[in-house]
Structure 1
Amino acid sequence: MLPGALAALGIVFGDIGTSPLYTLQTVLTDTGTSDRATLLGSFSLLVWTMILVVAVKYAMVVMRADNKGEGGILALFSLVGGVFGKHWYSRGTLLSAAGLFGAALLYGDGAITPAISVLSAVEGIGVVTHSLDDYILPIATIILLGIFMVQPLGTARISRVFGPVMLLWFLCMGGLGAASLLGHPGVLVGLDPVFALRFLYEHGGRSLVILGAVFLSVTGAEALYADMSHVGRPSVRLALGLVVLPMLILSYAGQTAFLMSHPGVRDNPFFAAMPHALVLPMVILATFATIIASQAIITGAFTLTRQAIQLGWFPSLNIRQTSDAEYGQIYVSVVNWLLMVVTLLIALTFRSSDALSGAYGTAVSTTMLMTTLLIFDVMRARWAWPLWKALPVALFFGAIDLAFFVANLMKIGKGGYVPLLIGLFLYIVMTTWRRGTILLRAGLAPLGEGSEKLRQRLRDKTLTRTPGEAVFLSRYESALPPIVMRHAADFNCLPERVVALNVRFETVPRVAPEHRMTVKETGDGLWQINVRFGFVEVPNLYYVLSEAREKGCSVDLDKVVFVSGNDDVVKDLKRPKMFGPRRILFGFLYRNAVRASDRFTLPRERLIEVGHQVEI
């Protein structure tokens, strides 16, 4: 558990660990004052928000809802098994919309987190000397550009130092907070939640604005759940209780104590509270910490993309494994460069972490609300909790999430619309892709209706059999799927050995080897192979065929030819089944999706693509 806890500091807690760089400053800016009551109330709010949201909700409850060790909102979505129903108010539709929209919003968070984290770290230079203020944005831009540029190289080796660097960061952060706290230990009375409740009561309607700033302290909570498969649930909980939560509380307490002793200070309290000689070293360490936090977010976006592809909610993209030891180390080119462009645009548009704080939190607060909705269904359906037990828990967390959700909606005009627009666009992409693939399968299905006639021709030997063997990649669990029927109709022949290979991705992360595949000979030189992969597994069909050889399907891997479909999508002139713009979007996605040769690691020189027009 100890090595896992050390690794968790770098993989899981980067976002939360860098939140003290900007959170208290943002809270006080939104409050407008910094008197004793305000400081103690802000400190109390920050502490109890972290305890209730991070420690209680995510570490104790949500992390229990793992899918064979995998976490994240898509894994949670696969647990509830949501499918869109006929009506918008049906259970399946609501759960599906919650899961997909929550997942889509995480891409918005992935674009904003690197920008605000790096900007807040580099802005520490302004505490050393204001003569360098004009260089803060260019330096931050160069760092952000570098983070994305190194992604194709892989981060397996660099990630080994993530844990120790973040441990040093947490210890320094907590130590400096403790040093400031010694000068004003009375701040610890703010650990009483009464100060937080009184603070909210006294500020009335403005409390929602303040809560929007307080929420910045827990924006990385989703990472606890999404990345727990890398180190395991016990290691995440150990790191949280032993290092993360105590050091964060000390850091916020130290900043609060410093502001009480120096009420006229207007600089960032995180850097202003430390001795002048330590500011530049801490700026450098903070920059490394924010780079690690950004790396974790980017890697999380890659993982989320792969899960969405495997579950059938996203078109196939080229995914490259960058480590032979760590499964989670992958690279998705399209996601990386799009994230880079959006992140740089956000940084150059908002120009400072203070301005960017308005855009930050909207996506995560919405995702947290969606997570609560899904976890309630898991409590009832999976854990078999009675309603009297599940409902109070869901309502308690739901009330907290709803308060932060409404608070963050107040920031829409200040930039909160950015992650929401990104999330909405990706939600449309995912639902369009799913709907389009369903219509495509329905359009191909009639091609397999003449299977009995084809079998009769095979038995009567009236269909020419050509020498060799071919593996037909099929979407159907059938020995004569539509692609085989199409080939026979177009060429009036079939190879001597025909293997219909169906690949299906399950809603579990990994499939046990004994349940991986079934191999069946159906006569007349026809073989049917059904293979199953989990949604985090990388399929390799050569490995599948080598396993099939041991079960009697003697395919020559050096000579076999693969046949896959590559159809065109056109408008059904009589009864269009898809709204025009969505059909155009699906057609664009379908044409640019990774082909079978890339997704299943097949050689192009032995791949034949057969296609026709499908009306939708």
Structure 2
Amino acid sequence: MSVEQAPNPFETTSHPATHARAIGDTHGDAHGAHGAHGAHAGSPQNRRYVLTLALAALGIVYGDIGTSPLYSLREVFLPEHGLRPTPDNVLGVLSLIVWSLVLVISVKYLVFILRADNRGEGGILALTSLVTPAHALRRGRWGLIILGLFGTSLLYGDGMITPAISVLSAVEGLEVLTPRFAPYVEPITIAILAALFFVQSHGTAKVGRVFGPIMVVWFATLAALGVWHVAGAPGVLGAVLPTHAVRFFVDNGWTGYVVLGSVFLVVTGGEALYADMGHFGARPIRWAWFGLVLPALLLNYFGQGALLLANARAIDNPFFHMVPAWALLPAVILATVATVIASQALISGAFSLTLQAVQLGYSPRVRIDHTSATERGQIYIPSVNWALMIACIGLVVGFKNSTNLAAAYGVAVTTTMAITTLLFHFVAHERWGWGHLKAGALTALFLTIDLAFFGANVLKIPHGGWFPLVIGAVVFTLLTTWKKGRQVLSTRMREMVLPRAGFLESIAAHPPHRVKGTSVFMFGDTKGTPPALLHNLKHNKVLHERVVFLAVVTQEIPQVPPEERVTVEDLGHGFWQVKLRYGFMEEADVPAALAAIERDGLSFKPMDTTFFLGRETLIATKRPGMAVWREKLFALMAQNARPATTFFRLPPNRVVELGAQVEL
């Protein structure tokens, strides 16, 4: 293996804040008095910059939660729940929605969770890295890593369901326009999803510029529809009092608890906004939420409640029944566009998550295409794209309508949210210095809410909730098998590796014939001799006049500053050790990094440099390490991994591969 992985999969090291955090929002804006380009945090220049990012965040960060009004309230009053849309029930459900948005999104995520960033990057992997430094592993923190990985795995199931349920619920608005469209809802949804995935290879940089303005129109529409109906029944605003939620549970008992699984649909975008923090920073995300998204959502839910108070029969699709007949078709089109934007955010998130998994050593190398020369994070991963497309279309065909899909939605997200809360406790106590009482009390509050939602969603498992759990279990198995397999393979390779010091002494005592040029042997063990070098010397009896041992190291920080990228060590007798360091959000371009090295006696000319790589054939055995079935799975994954030549951007005509068999 030519990439050196640090022994701790999440250990972080310090490095300067990147441009994405230049607005001074690291750790909840607690640090940094100056903004982008040196502007003061309160200056007009900085405010305009933050506002611009807040506008862009509307489409990427809030697409999921912003399209929840299409189906959330409808799912609460499904006939099978046995809950009639009486005035007391409507006010009780609205109160639950209001306080869910306030406590889960506004307080938990926007106020507290966004403070827990890994050098500006968010998401459950970043949170896990903050609580599992190297010394923590000696205190038995592997359990937290397992939790973090499982939560990450569940996000793939979420990424499959969100595009399907969002687009399907929007297209179902055509049935409100006329029942004649009913047979065409499913084919139209499939066509839209297929088109969405087929355009991914062209990149979303240009399309992304219009996401924000379109979502401004969408949220403005949500607010306008809500205000229109609330004006006819202003008493619905009384649902802001939590007493209505309490009374709802008292009156409905077990049924009231069951419908929490549907109420949860209004907050499913919480993890997504945390994961996207690295693209925009915490402050623009907060500005967008409190300035537009939260007011628009609350007004629309209140408006749907006002509609139900006036006409309980509108419960079959309250969102589209809010719309005047003359505006119904434009509303369906706008809703469909908004759901496509929401789906795009989830797809892009899956790409970013896969890149992180590859760089952190939890996934084999895959093809990763950059679709923008200027915007970081604009990537396209074909294998992930087509897998998501097949899954999304399969979900539409299998579940038929958004109501059936809603029965499968929420189990994975609630699990991830509960894991996030547990990890947050360790960050607050150990990183921020909170006392046990303060950290414990806040964690207990959040965890009580998370577990209440989790319990209600567990009831969905027989009705489709098993799907994201199965997807999460499969992804978790693949991630952990690859990581464990790499560790076993590394152990087996070390058993065969000759110590570098002994090899160099042997070369000094018995120098072989040297030929012109530079040979680069990619090998992660900086204390050992690359097996490819020994094979080459054994069979060809020669060495190049410059021999470079190259290790490519992925560090557990998002980006590595250019000045820290390269380390060169002269080993004597024409031998050199070179280390290239990259962050887990970066891709390695080995030729470009080597071309920048200018040292006495060492330079890299493309036509005089040959890269030697080892290619291992893996054989499953009963030796201690992994179960045989996992060894076979690991060998299969390794066989189908992207070749190191393309992954590290090596020139194919300058690469020599030398094979060996390794028993796992």
Shorter chain as denominator, the TM-score bin is: over 0.9
Secondary structure in 2 matching 1:157: helix
Give the secondary-structure state (helix, strand or coil) at the position aligned to 2:259.
helix
Mapped contact 2:268–2:410 kept (Cα < 8 A) = yes
Supply the AA of the counterpart residue of 2:105.
Answer: V
CA distance in 2, matches of 1:291, 1:201: 39
Matched, 1:529 2:578: yes
Q: What stretches of structure 2 of length at least 5 have no aligned partner? A: 1-49
Q: 2:658 matched to which residue of 1?
A: 610
Aligned residue for 1:589? 637
Any conservation in 1 of the 2:559–2:582 contact (CA below 8 Å)?
Answer: yes
Q: Is the 8 A contact 1:122 1:139 kept in 2?
A: yes
With over 3 angstroms needed to count, the CA separation of the structure-2 counterparts of 1:229 and 1:257, relative to structure 1, is: same
1:202: Cα distance to partner? 2.3
In structure 2, the residue matched to 1:68 is 119
Deviation at 1:605, TM superposition (A): 1.2
CA contact (8 A) 1:479 1:527 kept: no
Q: Which amino acid aligns with 2:228?
A: A
Which of 386, 391, 404 is residue 440 of structure 2 equivalent to? Answer: 391
SS at 1:34's partner residue? coil
Please state whether the residue corresponding to 1:611 is helix, strand or coil: strand
Give the drift of 1:208. 3.0
In the TM superposition, residue 551 of structure 1 has moved relative to its aligned partner by: 7.3
Check the 8 A contact 2:323/2:331 in 1, yes or no: no
Paired with 2:276 and 2:363, the residues of 1 have a C-alpha distance of 20
1:233-252 to structure 2, matched below 5 A, reads 233-252=282-301
Letter in 2 for 1:474: F
Give the letter for the 1:245 counterpart.
L
Between 383-392 and 156-165, report the one with greater CA deviation.
383-392
Matching residue of 1:223: 272
Aligned partner of 2:625 in structure 1 is 577
1:270 Cα deviation after fit? 0.3
CA separation of 1:230/1:483 partners in 2, compared to 1, >3 Å: closer, same or farther?
Answer: same
Report the alpha carbon displacement of residue 391 of structure 1 after superposing the two structures with TM: 0.9
One-letter code aligned to 1:244: V
Q: Secondary structure at the match of 1:528?
A: strand
| Aligned equivalent of 1:52 | 103
SS of residue in 2 equivalent to 1:561: strand
Matched, 1:274 2:298: no
1:105 maps to what in 2?
Answer: 154
Alignment of 1:72-83 (within 5 A): 72-81=123-132
Q: What does residue 40 of structure 2 align with?
A: none
Does the residue aligned with 2:522 lie in a helix, a strand or coil? Answer: strand
SS at match of 2:121: coil
Q: Aligned equivalents of 2:540 and 2:209: distance in 1?
A: 55
List aligned pairs for 1:313-324, cutoff 5 A.
Answer: 313-324=362-373
Residue 123 of structure 1: how far off its partner (Å): 0.4
1:546 aligned residue: 595
Tell me whether 247-256 or 442-451 shows the greater mean CA deviation: 442-451
Partners of 2:236 and 2:489 in 1: CA distance: 63
Unmatched segments (≥5 aa) in structure 1: none
Q: 1:85 to 1:64 in 2, by over 3 A?
A: closer
Cα distance per residue 1:492-540 (max 9 Å; x no partner): 3322111111011111101122322211111011010112111001111
Q: Secondary structure at the match of 1:313?
A: coil
Residue 98 of structure 1 contacts residue 373 of structure 1 at CA under 8 Å; is this kept in 2? no
Contact 1:255 1:273 in 2 (8 A): yes
Q: Does 1:211 align with 2:260?
A: yes
SS at match of 1:475: coil
Q: What is the distance in 2 between the residues matched to 1:125 and 1:481?
A: 64
Q: Give the CA deviation at 1:266.
A: 3.9
- Equivalents in 2 of 1:410, 1:531: separation in Å? 50
Corresponding residue of 2:349: 300
Is 1:563 aligned to residue 629 of structure 2? no
In structure 2, how many angstroms separate the alpha carbons of the residues matched to 1:47 and 1:556?
64
Determine which of 210, 223, 247 is the counterpart of 1:161. 210
Q: CA deviation at 1:455?
A: 1.8
Within 1, Cα distance between the matches of 2:474 and 2:149?
A: 12
Report the Cα offset of residue 450 of structure 1. 4.4
Corresponding position of 2:142: 93
Q: Does 1:133 align with 2:182?
A: yes
Following superposition, the deviation at residue 325 of structure 1 comes to 1.6
Offset at residue 376 of structure 1 (A)? 1.2
> Does the CA-based 8 Å contact 2:498-2:529 persist in structure 1?
no
Q: Which residue number corresponds to residue 287 of structure 1?
A: 336
- Contact preservation (8 Å) 2:560, 2:583: yes
* Partners of 2:552 and 2:581 within 8 A in 1: yes
Q: List aligned pairs for 1:385-464, cutoff 5 A.
A: 385-464=434-513
For residues 122-152 of structure 1, give each alpha carbon's deviation from its aligned partner in whole angstroms, at most 9, with x where no partner exists: 0001111111111111111110111111111
Q: TM (normalized to structure 1)?
A: 0.97
- Measured on the aligned residues, the alpha-carbon RMSD in Å equals 1.8
Q: Is the 8 A contact 1:448 1:485 kept in 2?
A: no
Q: Deviations over 1:161-180 (max 9, x none)?
A: 00000010000111011101
SS of residue in 2 equivalent to 1:538: coil
Q: Look up the equivalent residue of 1:429 and give its one-letter code.
A: L
Aligned residue for 2:316, secondary structure, equals coil
Quote the residue 2:83 is aligned against. 32
Q: Deviations over 1:413-461 (max 9, x none)?
A: 1100000000000000000000000011111113333434422332134
- State which drifts further: 40-49 or 384-393: 384-393
C-alpha change, 1:57 and 1:552, in structure 2 (3 Å) is farther
Structure 1 residues 432 and 85, CA gap change in structure 2 (3 angstroms): farther
Change in Cα spacing, 1:470 to 1:434, as seen in structure 2 (3 Å) is same
Within 5 Å, give how 1:473-512 maps onto structure 2: 473-478=522-527, 480-512=529-561
Specify the code of the residue in structure 2 equivalent to 1:93: W
Structure-1 separation of matches of 2:602 and 2:246: 69
Distance 2:176 2:621 in 1: 64
Q: Which of 562, 572, 597 pairs up with 1:513?
A: 562
Tell me the distance in 2 between the aligned counterparts of 1:53 and 1:150.
Answer: 34
Query: What residue is the counterpart of 1:42 in the other structure?
Result: 93
2: CA distance between counterparts of 1:375 and 1:85? 15
The reply to whether residue 117 of structure 1 matches residue 166 of structure 2 is yes
Deviations along 1:242-268, one digit per CA (max 9) or x if unpaired, are 000000000000000011011233430
> What is the one-letter code of the residue matched to 1:32?
L
Check whether the contact 1:539–1:600 (CA below 8 A) recurs between aligned residues: yes
Query: Cα distance 1:548–1:201, how it changes in 2: closer, same or farther (>3 A)?
Result: farther
Provide the rounded CA distance (Å) in 1 between the counterparts of 2:539 and 2:527: 20
Match of 2:384 in 1: 335
Where 2:314 maps in the other structure, the secondary structure is coil
Name the SS for the 1:33 alignment partner: coil
- Of 631, 646, 659, the match for 1:598: 646
* Equivalent pair of 1:31/1:210 in contact (CA under 8 Å): no
CA distance in 1, matches of 2:457, 2:358: 30
- Percent of aligned pairs with the same residue? 44
- Partner Cα distance (1:577, 1:22) in 2: 48
Of 240, 248, 251, 1:202 maps to 251
Question: Normalising to structure 2: TM-score of the pair?
Answer: 0.90
Question: Residue 276 and residue 476 in structure 1: after superposition, are their counterparts in 2 closer, same or farther (change >3 A)?
Answer: same
* Kept in 2: contact 1:507–1:534 (CA 8 A): yes
| Partner AA of 2:115 in structure 1 | R
Give the Å deviation of 1:271: 0.5
2:306 paired residue number: 257
Structure 1 residue identity aligned to 2:609: V
Q: Distance in 2 between matches of 1:202 and 1:493?
A: 86
Distance 2:266 2:600 in 1: 55
Distance 1:124 1:549, change over 3 A: same
Q: CA deviation at 1:544?
A: 1.4
Pairwise CA distance, 1:119: 0.5
How far did residue 195 of structure 1 move? 0.9
Number of matched pairs? 613
